[in-house]
Amino acid sequence: MFNLKYSFLLLATLLLINFNSFSHYCCHCGNLVHRSCNSLECCSIPRSNIPPFQFNIWFILFAGHKEPKHLVFLKHYQHFLVLQFAVDEINKNPHLLPNITLGYHLLNNFHHDRLAVESSLIWLSGRGPAIPNYSCDRQPNSVAVIGGMSSTLSMSMATILKLYKVPQITYGLFDLLLTDKVQYPYVYQMGSRESTLHLAFIQLMLHFGWTWVGLVLSDNMRGENFFSHLKEEMDKNGLCVAFKESVPPNFKGDEYYRLSSRITASSSNVIFVYGDTDSLQELAIAFIAYVLHGKTLVATTAWDFSFDSNLELLTHFHGTLLFSSSQMEIPGFTDFVRSLNPSVNSEDIFLRTFFESLLKCRFSEKSHVQMLDTMCPEGVSWADLPFINFDKIIMELSSNVYNAVYLVAHALHEMLQYESFFPHRLTNSCSYLQLHHFLKCPSPINRGSDESCGDGTRMAAETYDILNYKYFPVRIEILVKVGEVIPHNQVFGINEEDIDWPKDFSQTPTSMCSLSCGPGFKKTVHESQPICCFECTPCPEGQISNQTEQCLQCPEDQYPSRERHRCLPKTVTFLAYEEPLGMTLACAALCFSLLTALVLGLFVKHKDTPIVKANNRSLSYTLLGSLSLCFLCPLLFIGRPNTATCLLRQTIFAVVFTVAIASVLAKTITVVLAFKATKPGSKLGRWLGSTTSYSLIFTCTLIQTCLCGIWLGTYPPFLETDIYSEPAFIVIQCNEGSILTFYCVLGYMALLAFGSFTVAFLARNLPDTFNEAKFLTFSMLVFCSVWITFLPTYQSTKGKAMVAVEVFSILASSAGILTCIFVPKCYVILLRSDRNTLEIVKIKANLCGARSSQILPHQSF
């Protein structure tokens, strides 16, 4: 096995306070090397008893800001710690690169494109100053470059490195521009593609009901591609864009105010920010200069807004939600970080400077952090640092650094295994072309959840963590994981109790163009407005509105609730005896029938009195008997209908009522004939007998019976359920079958009643002793009035109310005949018996003429 020593060369912006003049750092020897020096010390973690054989891996970390800031150093120092941990872990792994020790070099570019190109040339030359196309170092052979942190820096470096086919592994955000294998053939990206990030945004909107959101995007292809995908999904899910603002790479001055004013003026309470680190550098400055009150920000960890050294200003971003590619767990990293101690690891200038910057003290007189007079206490450890969550959350870029180290390690491992079969091919110069082959599809990255190749050709399902940025008055900022999203599997989980919202919101923010419609209302969208901006209009009768705010028809056996938000089962109903209306009508029918029977009994008892004999007592008996049955007919209409009652109730009522009306007609005709027959030479006397009257009644009844027979024989009534008449009920009722025949039956009774009324009206002034013609006229007037009113009322009512109307008409018309014809006679019989004598009859007869006085005592009308 070959004894090799690989080292990582870091071109990094681990920005320390007041270190502007230095660009090269050596972590092993603890010395700072000025940019103009001719050599660069190698920093390594040697494996014992392994003779060195020089190979270098250039590892490059880039911070996100141009000027050295204290906070940037704090945030991105974790990248370097992850690098240290990964190299140490690989060197201790006997199964990965056995008998080989890895090391690393560090260089800095302060996030300047020019310095990135210059540092690339310096590394390729091996010595400073840079000499293009020459390698001055005695051990110049490095195997790979890992960097940079942003697409801009990666592209700047790639323009130089691709000339020498140097493998470059970027650990920043994935950029489609870097996938162009013509311009960047040797660049491999470790960042997540974020191909489903827009779906994660959508799931967050749907979870909180944010239908009206604003978008702030970087003004480049990355932002436009994201917007097109996001807008398509928003349209599918009924979500709307309140506004869209594009942020140029370097906007400032008045543009700050214009952008902030447009965002503040929007009715949207939630703003989504997306873009790359370079494009959004100035956005945080704009939001600090012009604070967005009443707005909640949702972004990705690519937007590094916490760059300012004035930590009090970061309170404006408290409550911001950030999406980050799901971070892998790195077992042992937390213990590794906590084991670091500037007293024990005195050769690590980064660790010592990191502690000095945080604790505002210095460990020695030769401290690299200027303007510090206080000496640091002895034995200070990681637990004494105020940034308590630094070692607990593995940030996305740190995870990419870890994966990048393992990607190179696995590629080297497989390449060396291949080379072991051809020993003559292995020289001090590493073949970049061979390494490219193994970098494209190396073994799975150790402990990594992402199974992608370095060039991103094989991507695993993307998972995103939802982080909540919290700023505390004690100058501490932390990111707390509050949820997780797996868009491909539509998995969304979030713990709302752990979320701190911006101080302008006492509860979960809402962001809607129009408030949700209440129960019983539906959305009405106008053509000129987005679908999220709508009016609420009531649902039509019989419909409800559910959670989708659309009106839906209830099933036939159900009806809408009063609020019209759910359907309730309908109750089966009919005109029952148990309900007040049915009970009242039934009692009225029985009472009137009993009263009619009493009147009949009274007439039978006083059958020999003049008033009974004068009113044709046989016809009176027939009329009273038919009226008594008429009062009982409503009992067939009340109660639960069945087939028998549906067939019998209308026909029995029609026949019995025809008998009553025919009897009234016979009495009326008898009165007229009685006076006409008394004239000299009249031959009408033979028609005054009871045979003529009963023949008339029989004929009229026979015609009605034939009509009912035709009705029952053609299209008879039948039982049915009415689900439409009463919204909350299913009415069991009788369908009349042939409506034409039904109205013919009613029309025939109306014709008889109208004939009786006409004859009685013409005979109202005849000298009748007991005023019989006038009583008949009033009874038929009441009868006709009731049934004329019945017809339109019957047509305008539905369900059991229609049955109640018909029952009431039967009782009212029957009671009108009974009252108008027989109540005056009962009054005379019971209370004025002195008028029910033959002498009174004779006195009235003398007043009307001798001929009348001879007829009246002996002729019954």
> For residue 125, how many other CB atoms are within 10 A of its CB?
18
CA-CA distance, 578 to 639, in Å (whole number)? 9
CA-CA distance, 476 to 779, in Å (whole number)? 100
Q: Is the dihedral of CA 404, 409, 414, 419 positive or negative?
A: positive
Phi, psi of 482 (to 5 degrees): -115, -5
Which amino acid, 739?
I
Average pLDDT over residues 190-196: 85
Q: In the predicted model, is pLDDT for residue 598 greater than 90? A: yes
CA-CA distance, 610 to 840, in Å (whole number)? 10
Q: Which residues of 398-411 are buried (b: 16+ CB within 10 A; e: fewer)?
A: bbbbbbbbbbbbbb
Q: Give me the percent of the chain exceeding a pLDDT of 90.
A: 20
Residue 691's pLDDT is 74
Q: In the predicted model, is pLDDT for residue 16 greater than 70? A: no
Residue owning tokens 């899910």: 237
Bigger pLDDT: 57 or 291? 291
pLDDT-based confidence at 457, cuts 50/70/90?
very low
pLDDT-based confidence at 852, cuts 50/70/90?
very low
Q: In the predicted model, is pLDDT for residue 602 greater than 50? A: yes
Bigger pLDDT: 29 or 393? 393
Q: How deeply is 174 buried, as exposed, middle or buried, from its count of CB atoms within 10 A (0-12, 13-18, 19+)?
A: buried
pLDDT-based confidence at 684, cuts 50/70/90?
low
Bigger pLDDT: 776 or 93? 93
Q: In the predicted model, is pLDDT for residue 51 greater than 80? A: no
| 4-193+332-345+397-440 classified as CATH 3.40.640.10 | no
Bigger pLDDT: 435 or 840? 435
Task: Write the pLDDT tens digit of every residue in 365-404.
Answer: 666 655 566 788 877 877 777 655 555 567 778 888 898 8
| H or E, element range at 569 | strand 567-569
Residue 285's pLDDT is 81
| H or E, element range at 831 | helix 800-831
Q: In the predicted model, is pLDDT for residue 687 greater than 70? A: no
Which amino acid, 283?
L
Residue 563's pLDDT is 81
Q: How deeply is 510 buried, as exposed, middle or buried, from its count of CB atoms within 10 A (0-12, 13-18, 19+)?
A: middle
pLDDT-based confidence at 651, cuts 50/70/90?
very high
Task: Write the pLDDT tens digit of every residue in 721-742.
Answer: 888 878 888 889 898 888 899 8
Q: What is the DSSP track for 99-134?
A: TEEEEEEEE--TT-HHHHHHHHHHHHHSSSS--TT-
Distances (CA, A) of 55 to 140, 353, 435, 659, 840: 8, 29, 13, 126, 150
Mean pLDDT is lowest, of 51-65, 172-186, 285-299, 536-550, for 51-65
Task: Write the pLDDT tens digit of every residue in 269-286.
Answer: 999 999 877 777 778 888
Residue owning tokens 């604070």: 291
Q: In the predicted model, is pLDDT for residue 454 greater than 60? A: no
Q: In the predicted model, is pLDDT for residue 257 greater than 60? A: yes
pLDDT-based confidence at 18, cuts 50/70/90?
very low
Mean pLDDT is lowest, of 617-621, 659-663, 696-700, for 617-621
Considering 29-33, 62-66, 134-138, 759-763, the range whose residues carry the highest mean pLDDT is 759-763
Average pLDDT over residues 296-314: 74
Residue 443's pLDDT is 46
Q: In the predicted model, is pLDDT for residue 747 greater than 60? A: yes
Average pLDDT over residues 138-145: 67
Q: Any alpha helices (H) in 27-69, and if so which ranges? A: none
Residue 137's pLDDT is 64
Return the CATH fold of 580-855.
Rhopdopsin 7-helix transmembrane proteins (1.20.1070)
Annotate 157-198 with three-state secondary structure. Answer: HHHHHHHHCCCEEECCCCCHHHHCCCCCCCEEECCCCCCCHH
Bigger pLDDT: 853 or 92? 92
**pTM exceeds 0.75:** no
Considering 147-151, 199-203, 380-384, 782-786, the range whose residues carry the highest mean pLDDT is 199-203
Bigger pLDDT: 856 or 94? 94
Average pLDDT over residues 598-627: 84
Structure-block tokens of residue 536: 């609420």
Cβ atoms of 675 and 767 closer than 8 Å: yes
Considering 364-378, 518-532, 700-714, 821-835, the range whose residues carry the highest mean pLDDT is 700-714
Bigger pLDDT: 363 or 625? 625
Q: Where are the domains of the chain?
A: 4-193+332-345+397-440, 521-569, 580-855
Residue 679's pLDDT is 53
Considering 22-26, 128-132, 140-144, 198-202, the range whose residues carry the highest mean pLDDT is 198-202
Bigger pLDDT: 230 or 191? 230
pLDDT-based confidence at 21, cuts 50/70/90?
very low
Q: How far is CA 619 from the centre of its chain?
A: 77
Bigger pLDDT: 91 or 112? 91
What average pLDDT does the structure give for the chain? 77
Please, how many CA atoms are within 13 Å of residue 588, restricted to the half-sphere of its CB?
17
Q: Find the Cα–Cα–Cα–Cα dihedral 274, 277, 282, 283, rounded to 10°.
A: 20
How far apart are the two ends of the chain, measured CA to CA in Å?
Answer: 143
Considering 299-303, 725-729, 755-759, the range whose residues carry the highest mean pLDDT is 299-303
Q: In the predicted model, is pLDDT for residue 442 greater than 60? A: no
Question: How many distinct helices (H) and strands (E) make up the chain?
Answer: 21, 26
Cβ atoms of 345 and 387 closer than 8 Å: no
- Which are the contacts of 713, defined by CB distance < 8 A and separation ≥ 6? none
Average pLDDT over residues 128-140: 68
Q: In the predicted model, is pLDDT for residue 856 greater than 50? A: no
